[in-house]
Amino acid sequence: MRPLLLASLLALAALPARAADSIADTPFMPMPPRAVGPDSPLRPDPNGPPPDDAFGAYQRGYFLTALRAATERVSANPKDAAAMTLIGQIYRDGVAVAQNDAEAARWFALGSRLGDANAQFALGVLKLDGARGVTRDRAEAQAQFEKAAAQGHASALYDLGVLAIDVPQDTQPDFAKAAKYFKRAAEAGDGNAAYSYGVQLRQGKGVPLDISGSAHWFKVAADEGIIAGQVEYAIMLFNGIGVIRDETAAAQIFLLAAARRNPIAQNRLAHLYVTGRGVPKDLVRAALWNTLAKRAGDQDDELDKALANLTPDQQKQADALIRAQMEF
């Protein structure tokens, strides 16, 4: 992941302090590219044949067994691209073997040449990151993403959208191209792409302004568990922007994101518990979420004032909830 994009994402998510306020007009930046890891899309197509023994062992955490099985497969069939990709992933993860990006790249390159979309995507990520022992090469990374994208690889489509925006200083971002990639990736089931496309639709950046469409894609991202999508959709749902207003449903989505330690959602939820909008009024729970948001850097003087006169018993209950949440 590139820190610059992460910082920009946090800036994008820095919405107004109250859930009922309008959505901020902030500069567009998408989610960052995903690194290759245990949850990367190396898993087989769910609509395809059942997982093979090597990948099944990998999924269950039997990494050495997976490595042996994949190695045996390559020995038996030097064109087994899926087995090569799995070996590369094991070296990239550093499970069953010492972590070795250069060796991972070698195996991914073998799989890529044989047309494996997962290998092409994984090699592209390593080339983009300039991992240990792998020379950074943006052009080669993009070429690998394009090969994978041609086969409908959702994460590769998403990363091509990112590359269309995250360009060298002497190059203009191509938001229209990014939108096309994000839309295709979102339609292929990529939650990060759904979020990024939703932002573009909301801001009319590279696409015609479409608030209802934006709400739709934020909901898709939220349903996929993308925290930024949950926060954005909850705010639109609370305000009735691009979607029928539903404060109760919005509060439940804020709760999902707050429980995953998102300070923006925690702050919004605290306001809702203070006012009793979307949830029963509960100053104890308001204090819980306000404290957690503040510890993450989201200071809110209005909330502090509203919660300044808790009874000793309420404060005791709040402290117990805070301790329990911090231990979770």
Whole-number pLDDT of residue 6:
29
- Residue 60, classified by CB atoms within 10 Å of its CB into exposed (0-12), middle (13-18) or buried (19+), is exposed
Whole-number pLDDT of residue 325:
85
Q: Which of 26, 22, 31 is nearest to 1 (CA)?
A: 31
Whole-number pLDDT of residue 275:
96
pLDDT tens digits, 265-288: 999 999 999 999 999 999 999 999
Q: Which of 19, 23, 22, 21 is nearest to 270 (CA)?
A: 19
State mean pLDDT over 213-237: 97
Q: Is residue 279 part of a domain?
A: yes
3-state secondary structure of 99: coil
Residue 3 reports pLDDT greater than 90: no
Q: Give me the number of domains the chain comprises.
A: 1
Q: Is residue 180 part of a domain?
A: no
Whole-number pLDDT of residue 42:
55
- The single-letter code of the amino acid at 121 is F
Measured CA to CA in angstroms, residue 47 lies from 43, 44, 51, 120, 292 at distances of 11, 8, 11, 20, 42
State mean pLDDT over 177-199: 97
Do 267 and 17 form a contact (C-beta atoms < 8 A)? yes
Q: Is residue 312 part of a domain?
A: yes
> CA-to-CA distance for 153 and 116, rounded, in angstroms?
10
Q: Is residue 182 part of a domain?
A: no
pLDDT tens digits, 10-20: 333 333 334 44
Tokens 């800036």 locate to 11
**Residue 293 CB-half CA count within 13 A:** 27
Whole-number pLDDT of residue 131:
77
pLDDT tens digits, 108-149: 999 999 999 999 999 999 999 887 889 999 999 999 999 999
Q: Is residue 323 part of a domain?
A: yes
At 327, the pLDDT band (50, 70, 90 cuts) reads confident
Query: What is the pTM assigned to this prediction?
Result: 0.83
What are φ and ψ of residue 99, in 5° steps?
-60, 130
Residue 247 reports pLDDT greater than 70: yes
Whole-number pLDDT of residue 11:
33
3-state secondary structure of 172: coil
Do 141 and 127 form a contact (C-beta atoms < 8 A)? yes
Q: Which of 147, 220, 228 is nearest to 190 (CA)?
A: 220
Q: Is residue 327 part of a domain?
A: yes
Q: Is residue 21 part of a domain?
A: no
Do 291 and 322 form a contact (C-beta atoms < 8 A)? yes
Tokens of 270: 């605290």
State mean pLDDT over 36-60: 61
Residue-number span of the structural domain to which 306 is assigned: 264-328
* Mean of all residue pLDDT scores within the chain: 86
Whole-number pLDDT of residue 43:
52
Residue 52 reports pLDDT greater than 90: no
Q: Is residue 233 part of a domain?
A: no
Residue 207 reports pLDDT greater than 50: yes
> CA-to-CA distance for 6 and 277, rounded, in angstroms?
32
